[in-house]
Structure 1
Amino acid sequence: MFRKGFKMYVYPDQQKEYYKRHAELWPEMEEMLRAHGLIKYVIFLDKETSVLYAYLETENEELWSKVARTEVNRKWWSYMAPIMKTNADESPIAVDLKEVFYLEGER
């Protein structure tokens, strides 16, 4: 399993819109993510700083690396670009976070 943490940035006046767009996630986007091995994906918002903290788990890193090249992902980036800090290709500016601790309880 591959775990990844990163942070992104939503514009302060767009926090509600960011939430709304994820609450209405396109079915084809969800299907694509699952097809690329997604197990878990969580995004947290620090309302005071407008920093988004994301955590995801996938089946493998190589499969996940192909997400950015899919047509639906590129459409999602274009859809989200007006409300987030982005790179020139409309991908969100994302800063990887270093994992320093992980503990999983018994199931």
Structure 2
Amino acid sequence: MKVAFAMKLKPGCADEYKKRHDTIWPELAQLLKDNGISDYSIFLDESSNTLFAVQQQSGSSSQDLGSTAIVQKWWAYMADIMETNPDHSPVSTPLPQVFHLD
């Protein structure tokens, strides 16, 4: 199943966000893959600082892995550049699919 969601980046943090994801921790990438998450892309609307994420899931959602230590550590690492909840998880809005061309 393919899912999409939106998150918000703090103003002026686009370069740092890209830098951190260019060097994503190998153990985090492996956790995602081990839990059926693949074909994961994140796009940025620079005019609104909105991040648009799309991922293929055959198991968990990346948003469902928040109980793991590595995801909690990643959330804390990203909290200074994103809008987050009190537990440091990113504020995330599910996006319904309204069109698909195969």
Supply the distance in 2 between the matched residues of 1:72 and 1:3 (Cα, whole angstroms).
24
Deviation at 1:69, TM superposition (A): 1.5
Alignment root-mean-square deviation, CA = 1.2
- Is 1:31 the counterpart of 2:54 in the alignment? no
Tell me what 1:77 maps to.
75
TM-score by length of 2: 0.92
Supply the distance in 1 between the matched residues of 2:20 and 2:91 (Cα, whole angstroms).
18
Encode CA deviations 1:62-81: one digit per residue, 9 max, x unaligned.
Answer: x3364222111110000000
- Where 2:80 maps in the other structure, the secondary structure is helix
- Is 1:96 the counterpart of 2:94 in the alignment? yes
Aligned length: 101
Q: Greater CA radius of gyration, 1 or 2?
A: 1
TM-score by length of 1: 0.88
Supply the distance in 1 between the matched residues of 2:83 and 2:27 (Cα, whole angstroms).
24
Give aligned-pair identity as a percent.
Answer: 38
Normalized per residue, the structure richer in helix is 1
Supply the distance in 2 between the matched residues of 1:40 and 1:46 (Cα, whole angstroms).
20
Deviation at 1:58, TM superposition (A): 1.2
Encode CA deviations 1:32-76: one digit per residue, 9 max, x unaligned.
Answer: 00000012111000111100001010113xx33642221111100
